[in-house]
Each structure stands twice: as C-alpha cells, then as structure tokens.
A and B are shown apart, each in its own frame.
Chain A
Amino acid sequence: MSSQSCVTIHKEWDIVAARQMGREIAKQLGFGTVDQARITTAISELARNIYLYAGEGKVYFEVIESLDKKGITIVATDTGPGIKDLSLVMEDGYTTSGGLGAGLPGVRRLMDEFDIESETGKGTKIVTTKWVR
C-alpha cells in the first residue's frame, strides 16, 4: 500500500512546509525522535537545493507499508539546470554553500537508500528512502 503527498517549492517558506509534511508522515509511521529529525533534515536539504539551484520543483512523499517493513520515500524533482558531474557533488567535502549544508552526501547518510538522476539542462530527480527500524 502506498499513498502520496506533495509540496511545490518555489520560495524559502515552502521548505518549512515540506519539512512539516515530512515530519508528520514520519511521526505517524512510528519513526523515533532522532530519525524524525534526520528525515526532516534530509527534506530540508533537498528542498533547499531546489530553491537555491533550480528555482522551482516538487518534493513528494510516499509511504511504503508492506508486511515486513514500513518506510518513507522522499522524491525531489526539478526542471533546473541539472548537475554536470554527479560523482563530484556526491563526494564528501565538496560544497558550493561554504560547507554549511549537509549536501547530497549528507542526505545519503541521513537516509537508508538514495538514488539520483540528472540531465544537464533538463533537471534532477532524487529518490531516497528511510525504513522504520
């Protein structure tokens, strides 16, 4: 069973809306306080990337509930400039924000599964999942 919710990001306050929606879903799924904070931080990071580099995009949430596991999947999509060198942005220590953002490697560490597709000039799609332990 899965259900979907969505937040459109085009101004900074939309980041807060995305955080709030994600945290609510995580809480309902039974994530602990620390994992809730991790999921929310990952959402912030993805939404802020859209806001800063793509200008506009969407953050979707999918709830995954099967017999043996439950989790939340965050999908961040944008139609921005895309990322030219994926291995560079996935490298620890690489940053365009002066080292204060968690960056995509941070998101990957906060979550359990992480996938990214990007095409220059077309946009970026990131899909990341965290399972309830």
Chain B
Amino acid sequence: MGTNDLDARSYTDLLKGYIETRDERALYGAEQISKSFIKNNISPEEIVNMHIQALLEIYPELTDKIQPTMNFLLEAMMAYGLAHQEYQLLREKQLRIRSEIEVAAGMQSMLLQSEVPKMDELDIGVISVPANQMNGDYHHFVKGKDGTISIAIADIIGKGIPAALSMSMIKYAMDSFPENEMSTNTILASLNRVVERNVDPSMFITMFYAQYNPDTGKFYYSSAGHEPGFFYSDKTKSFKEFEAKGLVLGVNPDTTYMQSELDIEKGDMVILLTDGVTECRKGDVFIERDEVLEVIKTYMHLPAQDIVNHVYRYFEKIQNFQLRDDFTLIILKKVV
C-alpha cells in the first residue's frame, strides 16, 4: 500500500470512530492525519475523494444524495490543490536561494574578516551583526610594522547583496595602499576616488578612518559622512562626540578630507559605531544617541569585548531580536 492508501484507510477508520464516539480523541486523530496529508503531499481534492470513499463504505444508502455534493466539493478544491503544489515548489526554490545566499555570506565574511590586533596598551572589543544574511557594514584593523594600528569602520547606504559586494571592493582598495604611510585623510580621499569610479551612483559609503600610535598616544581620524563616534575622557568622566566632517565616499572625485587628532590617556575610551546602533528602534520610536551612552556607561567597567557584547544584547532585546539595520560597534579602551 502506498502512503495514499494508508492515509485513506486510517481516514475511514478515524471517521468511523468519530461517528461512534463523537469524542475529542477522534478529532485529535483528525488533526494528526491532517499533518500526515501535508507531509505526504496529499492534495485537497484527494482528501475530498477519501471522504467520498469513506462515506460509500459507512453510509452506502446515502450515496445517491451525498455523492453529487461531494463531487462538487472536489471540483471546488482543484484550484486550491494546484496553488498548494505551486506554493511547495516555490518554497523549495526559496530554500535553495537561501542556502546560496548563505554560501555567499560565508564567503563574504571570509573575504572581509579582520583579526583584532592584540596589544598591551589597548583593549579592543568588536561586534558586527548583519540585519539580513549579508553584512553592509564593514570594519578593518591593520597593525603596522611600527606598532601603529589603523581602524576603518564603514557603512554602505543601501542594504543586502549589492552593499556586501561593494564592501569587498573597498577592502581590496585599502589593502593596496602602502601601509601606514598615508594619513587618514589621504586614505579617505583615495577611497573616495575608487568608489566614485566603480560604484553605482545611487550607492554611497560612509567611513570613519583612524590611526593610533601607541608610542605617542596620538589618535588621528577622518570621517567621510560617517555616524560620529564618541570619546570618553577618564579625566573629566565625560563623553564627547567626535567632530569630523566630510562628504560621503563616491559623490565627487575631488572631495578632500580633514584629519583631526586627539591624545588618549589611560582609562580613556574610543567608541566607533554604525547607524545600526544609534538608529535602533523601540517599536516605531528611534532611540536617542544618549541612550547608547547610557548603556555603555552601565558596562564600561568590563573588558571591551564584554561591553560591546552587552550593548548588542541590550539593543537586540529592545528590538525584539529583529535587527532593522546592520549593527557594528567597536570599543577601544586604553588600559596602560
């Protein structure tokens, strides 16, 4: 017996049982068999047919009156059956596409992975979580031979696969620059030309680029329209927004950028982020930028990686575990 015949047999038995007992147990059986129908791909018209066959067996004398109505019902189910089959095929197709995107996402994170440099004086925490499968945020650390570390954090305006593909281009452009020989503003100006030449005019990239020299304690930075980060001064126990102005990458090939600098002392903290952090929403209301600082303050006694993890978990929760935008947060803590 095929599954179809098996289901038909138990359908008849269940129906008989229900007619006798009229109890909930038989109805529970109907629920179970309904699931089995779906599992075995039994279409609605076949189920109606099972019902017709069961009726013929149980009430042969009613057949003349009931059968035409059942045949009518069977015809009325035909389009449902077809739509259901189509739905299943589309579902399989969707699963295939999904797994293809997963492969692409895996490849993306392999291409774009950036190891967090280990250094005694700086404790670094990073978290970057995509809203969908592919990440449109990007961050990059490079530790130079002289001990200087460079940090890039970027956000593509636009989401999903096109954004992710553009990111790879940015990474390879940056890799081709001579290490640490350039100032943060010349790097942004060079990237701006790459983006302007190669990326669709409807797509823009914001970036914050910084270099930290552990010998001098100097922190240099430039911004191309990027969400401003924060600087925490341990001396004054206060947060300050990075003041860095610059046009987003890719608008005008002749854009120039400014470099600013800052002295970092023991206990100070640098917070870099993308707008996925500051534009978290509670329901329909955007959070205030101050709220991000409040959450960071709660955890700032912890190691940098623990701070970013806690902040992420906090915002993940207030957004019901559904990120609306890619979320990237980097915290640098000067410990020595």
Interface range for A: 10 to 19
20 contacts between A and B (CB under 8 A): A33-B49, A33-B74, A34-B46, A34-B74, A37-B75, A37-B78, A38-B78, A41-B79, A41-B82, A92-B86, A92-B90, A92-B93, A93-B86, A93-B89, A93-B90, A93-B93, A100-B79, A102-B82, A106-B86, A110-B82
Report the separation of the CA atoms of residues A110 and B93 in the bound assembly, to the nearest whole angstrom: 20
Contact check, B93 vs A109: say whether CB atoms are below 8 A apart: no
Does A30 belong to the interface (CB within 8 Å)? no
Establish whether residues A33 and B52, one from each chain, have CB atoms under 8 Å apart when the complex forms.
Answer: yes
- Cβ contact within 8 Å between B71 and A33: yes
User: Which A residues from 61 to 115 make CB contacts under 8 A with B?
Assistant: 92-93, 99-100, 102, 105-106, 109-110
Q: Which of A33, A38, A92 contacts B89 (CB 8 A)?
A: A92
* Chain A residue at smallest Cβ distance from B89: A92
Q: Give A102's nearest chain B residue, CB to CB.
A: B82
Main secondary structure of the interface of B (DSSP, over half): helix
Q: Tell me if B227 is interfacial: C-beta within 8 Å of chain A.
A: no
Bound complex: CA A99 to CA B79 (Å): 11
Chain A interface main SS type: helix
A105 engages B86 (CB within 8 Å): yes
The 5 A-B pairs with the shortest beta carbon distances in the complex, nearest first, are A102-B82, A106-B82, A41-B78, A34-B49, A92-B89
With an 8 Å Cβ cutoff, the count of chain B residues facing the other chain is 16
Q: How far is the CB of B195 from chain A (nearest CB, A)?
A: 36
Please, which residue of chain B has its CB at the minimum distance from the CB of A34? B49
The closest CB in chain B to the CB of A32 belongs to: B49
In the complex, whether B45 has a CB less than 8 A from a CB of chain A is yes
Q: Which residue of B lies closest to A41 (CB)?
A: B78
- Does A109 contact B74, Cβ atoms closer than 8 Å? no
Q: Which residues on the A side are within 8 Å of B90 (C-beta)?
A: 92-93
B53: nearest chain-A partner, CB-CB? A33
> Judging by beta carbons under 8 Å apart, are B93 and A102 in contact?
no
Beyond known contacts A34-B45, A100-B79, A109-B82: 16 more, CB 8 A cutoff:
A32-B49, A33-B52, A33-B74, A34-B74, A37-B74, A37-B75, A37-B78, A38-B78, A40-B75, A41-B78, A41-B82, A92-B90, A102-B79, A106-B85, A106-B86, A109-B85
**Separation in Å of the A93 CB from the closest CB of chain B?**
5
Shortest distance in angstroms between B234's beta carbon and chain A's nearest beta carbon? Answer: 60
Q: Are A37 and B93 also in contact (CB < 8 A) when A102-B79, A102-B82, A105-B86 are? A: no
Distance A41 CA – B85 CA, assembled complex (angstroms): 15
Interface flags for A17-45 (1: CB within 8 Å of B; 0: not) read 00000000000000011100110110000
Q: Which residues of A contact B83 (CB under 8 A)?
A: 99
Give residues 1-57 of B contacting A (CB, 8 Å).
Answer: 45-46, 49, 52
Instruction: Report the minimum CB–CB distance from B87 to chain A (whole Å).
Output: 9
Chain A residue numbers with a CB within 8 Å of B79 are: 41, 100, 102
CB of B55 to closest CB in A, whole Å:
12
Distance in Å: Cβ of B151 to nearest Cβ of chain A? 46
Return chain B residues, CB-CB under 8 Å to A32: 49
A109 contacts across to B, CB distance below 8 A: 82, 85
CB distance from A104 to the nearest CB of B (A): 12
| Alpha-carbon distance A110/B82, docked complex (angstroms) | 8
A100 proximity list for chain B (CB < 8 A) = 79
